[in-house]
Amino acid sequence: MDVIKTATTPFPDQKPGTSGLRKQVTVFQQAHYLENFVQSIFDTQRLAGGTLVIGGDGRFYNRQAIQVILRLAAANGVAKCLVGQGGILSTPAVSCVIRKYQTNGGIILSASHNPGGPQGDFGIKFNTDNGGPAPEKVTEAIYQRSLALAEYRTLDTEDVDLDTIECFNLGGMHVEIIDPVSDYAELMAEQFDFAAIRELLSGDFRMAFDAMHAVTGPYARRIIEEQLGAPAGTVLNGIPLEDFGGGHPDPNLAHAAELVAMTQGDDALDFAAASDGDGDRNMILGRNIFVTPSDSLAVLAANADAFPPWRNGIPGIARSMPTSQAADRVAEKLDIPCFETPTGWKFFGNLLDAGRIAFCGEESFGTGSSHVREKDGLWAVLAWLNLLAARRRPVADIVHAHWETFGRNYYSRHDYEGVDAASAETLMTTLRARLGELSGSTISGRSIRLADDFSYTDPIDGSVSAHQGIRILFEDGARIVFRLSGTGTVGATLRVYLESLETDPARQREDTQETLADLIRLADEIAAIRQHTGREQPDVIT
Ligand code: VG1
Ligand code: CO
């Protein structure tokens, strides 16, 4: 089979964001667009002669993209590709397979929680041989290459069959279509006490898991229903659809409202959970309680002894900067370090590789451990089931007891979506210019301890990532953080993160938005949000 060199011109817009290259499907459908990005990966990474894992969340264009990537991989001398059956592999499953078979990396096709379908979004992400998202120096090299590319290498072949578990040869490259679930399911069984969870689920405990018509359906059915014995029908929306049934596969209070309703009222479930498009996010609900992702990380870390790999404790925790400081309070009590990293899972990679941390998380519904190098939605769900099986107490009891011991960090994120990009930039630059003046000042009776633009120095390799979000830190432990999203595809999204600490147990049951009302008002006073965005209210509150 002949390798074809196709002349092309670079696309100037292939700079990866927080989590890979994410664009509208129509952008990816332009001639040569995907090919250029993929060739830029092959030109900058040593993959010739190596093995690559390929899979995605099943959204529209997933199958076409995999065909394109397989042809380019073969033409660029890749020796072997492991591909999920039907083109399906969740993000944490890709990480698991890369690590288990010690491959040279993987390519994930997903736009995560963004809507799918012909008018929706698509995305591509390269993971390195540790199983994690490529660090900034790698994504930057790929981007620079994409700006200079003049040709790509491919094959002139028919599409291959992605649906049958088998091995075949494609232009000298060995292709293996693998069961997307089995390696991952095996890993989960090592992380948790499956016998205890099985016993919990065989009693009167009632739960639901919403796969949101996205990638986790097959994983949840196999693990939660078949292996752990939950009744058939426990997994809702369990068949991956190309358009996710028209919904946002985003597990949060706004987009999983039906599931939330199932945990309220007289007939409320004991436990409910959901995951996102590519299976790396999670939402945890108990009867009449939503566990914020920041609290979830803190609670799991405080109860690490319930999990078989961590019976003897954990070395450390990490959280992304905007994530609440609930985990810091746990780390302090356990006398272990808590690292504060920029937004995006790639920043946890070095700490996990070095064994400095066991658990890490983000406020954006991301939780995980050192078992893979991605956040892992089902892992978090199984962790909570394991915890409930070990403690035999309702979710709300566990969380309330946690707050009594460690204090409660009230937390909320306000998103202003699809804002004019220039106006959003102006808001940020105006704020940045005022940091010196804000630091140490008092505003509406509240003292600001420090106002800065977060910069991170990786403790392992010393690399520096600057301009990771503006922090306004108050003397009383409250915080407001401002940053612009790096995953959107239309205009800009301004994220405002609000947090305040309450250590008095008598006052810990109050409403989050009410408790944060003063900070919400201050955020507008400090950054002139309404003026710059032209919006009176955020679009999404989580
Ligand atoms: C968002 C979240 C961030 C997360 C990223 C990828 O990024 O805030 O915490 O790591 O999405 O999540 P941003 O730049 O839009 O704030 V997912 O499930 O893509 O992979
Ligand atoms: Co995701």
Tokens of 414: 């306000």
Among this protein's residues, is 112 annotated catalytic? yes
Domains of the chain are: 2-180 (3.40.120.10), 184-406 (3.40.120.10), 408-541 (3.30.310.50)
Does 210 contact ligand 1 (Cβ within 6 A)? no
Q: How far apart are CA 47 and CA 42, in angstroms?
A: 6
Q: Is the dihedral of CA 477, 478, 482, 487 positive or negative?
A: positive
Ligand 2 is a single-atom ion; what residues have CB below 5 A from it? 112, 276, 278, 280-281
Q: CA 147 to CA 9: how far, in whole Å?
A: 9
Q: By C-alpha distance, which of 71, 111, 36, 48 is closest to 278?
A: 111
362 lines ligand 1 (CB under 6 A): yes
Q: How far, in Å, is the centroid of ligand 2 from the Cα of 113?
A: 5
> Can you give the length of the chain in residues?
542
Q: Does the beta carbon of 281 lie inside 6 Å of ligand 1?
A: yes
Question: How many angstroms separate the alpha carbon of residue 227 from the centre of ligand 1?
Answer: 31
- Which of 90, 95, 110, 112 is flagged as catalytic? 112
Q: What is the pLDDT along the chain (542 residues), one digit of tens a residue?
A: 789 999 999 999 999 988 899 999 999 999 999 999 999 999 999 999 999 999 999 999 999 999 999 999 999 999 999 999 999 999 999 999 999 999 999 999 999 999 999 999 999 999 999 999 999 899 999 999 999 999 999 999 999 999 999 999 999 999 999 999 999 999 999 999 999 999 999 999 999 999 999 999 999 999 999 999 999 999 999 999 999 999 899 999 888 999 999 999 989 999 999 999 999 999 999 999 999 999 999 999 999 999 999 999 999 999 999 999 999 999 999 999 999 999 999 999 999 999 999 999 999 999 999 999 999 999 999 999 999 999 999 999 999 999 999 999 999 999 999 999 999 999 999 999 999 999 999 999 999 999 999 999 999 999 999 999 999 999 999 999 999 998 877 899 999 999 999 998 888 778 899 999 999 999 999 999 999 999 999 999 99
Q: Ligand 1 pocket, 415 CB below 6 A?
A: no
* One-letter identity of residue 511: D
Q: What is the Cα–Cα distance from 496 to 480, expressed in whole angstroms?
A: 7
